[in-house]
Structure 1
Amino acid sequence: MSTWRMAGLNYVNYSNIAAKTLRKSLKSNLRDDAAKRDASIIRIFFWEDGSILNEGQKPKAAEQKPKT
């Protein structure tokens, strides 16, 4: 069994910890460049009938409440 699994981590968590440790160990001039690559941005787009919806708009199916 992998060490990271025995520690109770999944691969994504293990990979993030390893990447942060590596970035911290770099020399200062390389550390700044690596820190820029650390940031990530996630954007979510909703589509309906083949076209993208405006920001803040959700598909009609998501707005309907299930009948109970």
Structure 2
Amino acid sequence: MEFWRQAGLNYVQFSRICARVVRKSLKPEVRTTALKRDEAHIRVVQWKDGQPIKPGAV
């Protein structure tokens, strides 16, 4: 069994932790660029009758 499962993590959590450690271990010149990739952006779209609803239209 994989050690990350034994630790109670799923693969997504494990890979996020690994990516964060690698980004923090980079040289300062490239660390800033790599840390920008650590940010996540989420867009929520509401759906009605199989079609996305445009923002502002209710």
TM over 0.5: yes
The yes-or-no answer on 1:3 pairing with 2:8 is no
The yes-or-no answer on 1:27 pairing with 2:27 is yes
Higher relative contact order (CA 8 A, sep 6+): 2
> TM-score scaled to structure 1, two decimals?
0.70
Distance 1:2 1:57, change over 3 A: farther
CA distance in 2, matches of 1:57, 1:6: 47
User: After the TM superposition, which segments of 4 or more aligned residues of structure 1 sit over 6 Å from their partners?
Assistant: none
* Total equivalences in the alignment: 58
> TM-score scaled to structure 2, two decimals?
0.81
**Structure 1 unaligned blocks of 5 or more:** 59-68
Identity score, percent: 48
**Structure 2 unaligned blocks of 5 or more:** none
